[in-house]
Amino acid sequence: MAPASRRKRSAGPDRRGSGDELHQAPARGEVMTTAQGAPLSDGQNSLRVGDRGPTLLEDFALREKIFHFDHERIPERVVHARGYGAHGYLETLEAIPDLTRAAIFQRKGTRTEAFVRFSTVAGNLGSPDLARDVRGFAVKLYTTEGNWDIVGNNMPVFFIQDAVKFPDLVHSVKEEPDRGWPQAASAHDTFWDFVSLMPEATHMLLWAMSDRAIPRSLRFMEGFGVHTFRFVNAAGESRFVKFHWKPRQGVQSVLWPEAVAINGADPDFHRRDLYAAIASGAYPQWDLGVQVFDDAFADAFDFDVLDPTKLIPEEVLPVRVIARLTLDRVVDNVFAETEQVAFCTQNIVPGVDFTNDPLLQGRNFSYLDTQLSRLGSTNFTHLPVNAPRCPVAHFQRDGHMQPNPQPGRAAYEPNSFTGADRGPRADAEAGFRTLERSESGLTRRLRAESFADHYSQARQFFRSQSPIEQDHIVAAFAFELAKVETAAIRTRMLANLVNVDKDLVTRVANTLRMPVPPAAPAAVAVRDGLGDAPSLSILRDRHTSFAGRKLGILVTDGADAAVLDATVAAFTAIGATVELIGPAIGGVKLGRSLRAVDHAIDGAPSVLFDAVALVTSTSGAAALSERTCAKEFVADAFAHLKFIGSVGSASALLDAAQVPDPAAGVLSLTADSVQDFVTACMGLREWARPVTP
């Protein structure tokens, strides 16, 4: 990164960006202080060198605030409590010694053991999987040079720019302390109060209100490192890098009504899906890609690459695939592995280094500190899921639950003993070497002016979505804000959205039956010329395959066994999972044989499947048409835009569910037309189907 002198210097704090104008004159005469009573002059920014330099360890207010936040709940994680993990490996597809000295990228074909934990952010350990939320995407790589943790999310940006605001963000989205609800939901006053006062959150809000926040499966979502890091090669040359995980299964989400229904039908839907996929041998895979760029690109880019509320569109800088992650083993014990795994952003290896991203700098302090509360000891690195797979040698001794004998006379270095007692020494050549860089500037609490544009990328994101996805974003904002009791908060949020897109705010306001307010003040002019970025859209970058998805076949006594068998065979052949649903769990009679089923109809709503087929007899369909659960199975599949294959004898059930004839995406199913149904399902949803909610 160019020295601070090469950047336009800030004229002062970005007050609109930090919400600081609301805190300069306390309404009741109270002055915010530390826990020790020291009055604070600025509660919005951490102390750093210059406008864009590193955060200083001497910032006692930052350290105290995060220290208290990290220890306020035990032993469950304060955030990312609801998680699920799996084992696997990373295989290097391209050697890149010119970019990094990291050992795992020196030879093509290198395999590195990995553990991945996916999670929601806001809910507790017992919350449902399909909450509208950011998903954690944390990868621990057990390299020959120590553990490397890439601790990211399924969205490439975040709500805040400075770690000093992280406790405030989480406190706002958690259950309100005076009433204890809502759980795992952002649709309430305190969250929208906070983010409406923090315009820097606007870009992330567009992502959170998009379909990215309700993924179909943990297997069908992208992962991002969020921050800008550095690659450093053996010659000490440095370049910036951003990390991407691209699912080879494609990206897919559910509709909001489906998410609500799934949480009631199967709150463990994501966990069950990942477990079942790995157990069946359908191992999920992601390509690890990087965006690598130099100082010249960073200086010329429209936004500050150290700002975690911004991204670099792939249309501007393509993602280069260098490795592939495969998850091939479920955990043996959820507590011992998924719950005790400890990720720390500070865990990097030679060849990787940090930048002055202020959110990353705060995370580097916070994550390690958190482990003491969660795991009870500084010796958490001895737990099998956290233990490095390479030799470990140091003079750290004792501590609660130390499992090793730790022999030897000297517990310090340097020492003059010989032999084994002398112990390890640092290696100037092989050891980790921090990139040498020059930092200068006054120590001040402020945001750099280059962090001040809070709306332009939010506008680019919204305008890059397909019309269908834009509809979903509008509906999500309207739903969430309708749950906000305080009208002033809704108005303030609408004022921020005026800066994003006129159509967006007008449609949200109309749904709420509220007037569109004047635009909120913006620190800098909002840009219109960022260009279209299809990579930001799920549907415009659509993955057309039904592999890894699930077909539910509703079958009754007397159904055509040939149609059933042909359908099962055709979908199994393309890598899909097929499950049978019967009127009762005891099975169905097909001719003289009894066919086992996986579910009874009253316990298997269609929201649990990606497409459905109706393979019934005439009498069986007539009987099901009298059952509410069967009618809802079909009606919901139709309303949720799923493809429906139906034999002719199932017409009574379609009529009972009020499915029109003909209807888009409802296909006739025979032994000869099964392949047509398979081909249609590759589109995943029939978006052309008009459905009135």
Separation of CA 176 from chain center: 23
The CATH number, out of the four listed (3.40.50.150, 1.10.730.10, 3.40.50.880, 3.30.200.20), of the domain defined by the range 550-681: 3.40.50.880
Whether the CA torsion 672, 676, 679, 683 is positive or negative: it is negative
Q: What is the pLDDT of residue 22?
A: 42
Q: Which pLDDT score is estimated for 74?
A: 52
Which candidate, 249, 244, 191, places its Cα nearest to that of 215?
249
pLDDT at 2 over 70: no
Cα gap 500→210, rounded to integer Å: 14
Structure confidence at residue 429 (pLDDT): 83
Residue 634: which region, alpha, beta or left (left: phi > 0; alpha: psi -120 to 50)? alpha
At position 111, the amino acid (one-letter code) is: R
In contact, 297 and 317? CB cutoff 8 Å:
yes
Model confidence at 16, in pLDDT bands (50, 70, 90)?
very low
State the DSSP H helix or E strand holding residue 328, giving kind and residue range, or none if neither.
Answer: strand 320-330
| Least confident window among 26-30, 38-42, 217-221, 567-571 | 26-30
Fold entry, domain 33-196+214-382? Catalase HpII,  Chain A, domain 1 (2.40.180)
pLDDT tens digit string along 623-642?
999 999 999 999 999 999 99
CA separation, residue 502 to residues 58, 312, 530, 603 (Å): 45, 24, 17, 44
What is the tens place of the pLDDT at every residue in 181-209?
999 999 999 999 999 999 999 999 999 99
Residue 407: cis peptide before it, omega within 30 degrees of 0: no
pLDDT of residue 360 exceeding 80, the answer is yes
If you write DSSP's letter for every residue of 250-270 in order, what string do you get? ---B--HHHHHHHHHH-TTHH
Instruction: For residue 376, give the nearest of 398, 400, 397 by alpha carbon.
Output: 400
Q: How confident is residue 457, by pLDDT bands cut at 50, 70 and 90? A: very high
Long-range contacts of 435-438 (CB under 8 A, 24+ apart): 435/230, 435/232, 435/236, 435/238, 435/353, 436/236, 438/3
Provide mean pLDDT across the span 238-245. Answer: 98
At 75 the pLDDT is 77
Asked if 240 contacts 292 with a C-beta cutoff of 8 angstroms, the reply is yes
Q: Return the pLDDT at 24.
A: 45
pTM of the prediction?
0.91
581: region left, alpha or beta (phi > 0 left; psi from -120 to 50 alpha): beta
In this prediction, residue 20 carries a pLDDT of 42
Give the tens place of pLDDT for each residue, 310-334: 999 999 999 999 999 999 999 999 9
Is 382 designated active site? no
Return the pLDDT at 393: 87
The whole-angstrom separation of Cα 140 and Cα 233 is 22
DSSP string, 542-595: -----TT-EEEEEE-TT--HHHHHHHHHHHHHTT-EEEEEESSTT-EEETTEEE
Distance between first and last Cα of the chain: 51
Residue 295 has pLDDT above 50, yes or no: yes
Higher pLDDT residue, 14 or 159?
159
Token representation of residue 182: 């809502």
The one-letter amino acid at 322: I
Checking if the pLDDT of 409 tops 90, the result is: no
How far apart are the C-alpha atoms of 457 and 600, rounded to whole Å? 48
Residue 420 has pLDDT above 90, yes or no: no
Measure CA 414 to chain center: 45
pLDDT band at 36 (very low <50, low <70, confident <90, very high): confident
For the ranges 346-350, 392-396, 651-655, the maximum mean pLDDT occurs at 651-655
Query: Which H or E run includes 153?
Result: strand 146-153
Q: Do domains 33-196+214-382 and 454-536 have the same CATH topology?
A: no
Find the Cα–Cα–Cα–Cα dihedral 132, 254, 652, 546, rounded to 10°: -160
Average pLDDT over every residue of 408-416: 85
Which of the residue ranges 262-266, 336-340, 431-435, 653-657 would you say has the lowest mean pLDDT? 431-435
Burial 620-632 (b: 16+ CB within 10 A, else e): bbbbbbeeeebbb
Contact indicator for 261, 629 with CB cutoff of 8 Å: no
Higher pLDDT, 188 or 44: 188
Q: What is the mean pLDDT of residues 413-435?
A: 81
Task: Give the per-residue pLDDT at 395.
Answer: 85
| Each residue's pLDDT tens digit, 483-494 | 999 999 999 999
pLDDT of 366 above 70? yes
Residue 582 has pLDDT above 90, yes or no: yes
Instruction: Quick: pLDDT tens for 367-395.
Output: 888 888 889 888 999 999 999 999 888 88
- The per-residue pLDDT for range 476-531, each reduced to its tens digit, is 999 999 999 999 999 999 999 999 999 999 999 999 999 999 999 999 999 999 99
Between CA 691 and CA 637 the distance in angstroms is 11
Q: What percent of the chain has pLDDT above 90?
A: 78
pLDDT(174) > 90 = yes
> Could you say which of 45, 147, 153, 499 is catalytic?
153
DSSP-derived secondary structure for 440-479: -S-EE----GGG---SHHHHHHHHTS-HHHHHHHHHHHHH
Cβ contacts of residue 271 below 8 Å, gap of 6+? 84, 129
Separation between Cα atoms, residue 130 and residue 184, nearest integer Å: 9
Evaluate whether the domain defined by 454-536 bears CATH number 1.10.10.10: no
Average pLDDT over residues 546-559: 97
Is residue 347 pLDDT above 60, yes or no?
Answer: yes
Q: What is the mean pLDDT of residues 569-582?
A: 97
The band of 18, judged by pLDDT with boundaries at 50, 70 and 90, is: very low
User: Burial letters for 170-184: b for 16+ Cβ neighbours within 10 Å, e otherwise?
Assistant: bbbbbbeeeeeebeb
Measured on CA atoms in the order 461, 464, 466, 470, is the torsion positive or negative? positive
Look at 314-318, 421-425, 540-544 and tell me which has the smallest mean pLDDT.
421-425
* Predicted pLDDT at 1: 40
HEC-encoded secondary structure of 2-33: CCHHHCCCCCCCCHHHHCHHHCCCCCCCCCCE
Residue 684, amino acid: L
3-class secondary structure for 418-446? CHHHHCCCCCCCCCCCCCCCCCCCCEECC
Question: Is residue 153 flagged as an active site residue?
Answer: yes
Confidence label for 693 from pLDDT (cuts 50, 70 and 90): very low
Task: Judge whether residue 12 has pLDDT over 70.
Answer: no
d(CA 224, CA 251): 13
Measured distance CA(582)–CA(601) in Å, rounded? 6
- pLDDT value for 28: 54
Q: Is the pLDDT at 663 greater than 70, yes or no?
A: yes
- When pLDDT is averaged across residues 602-622 and rounded to a whole number, the result is 97
**Predicted pLDDT at 80:** 92
Phi then psi for 594, rounded to 5 degrees?
-100, 120
Domain map (residue ranges) of the chain:
33-196+214-382, 454-536, 550-681
Angle between helices 269-279 and 256-265 (to 10 degrees): 80
| pLDDT (tens digit per residue) in 112-168 | 999 999 999 999 999 999 999 999 999 999 999 999 999 999 999 999 999 999 999
- ∠ CA 238-89-610, rounded to 5°: 110
| Predicted pLDDT at 544 | 83
Which tokens is 217 given?
A: 């499966």
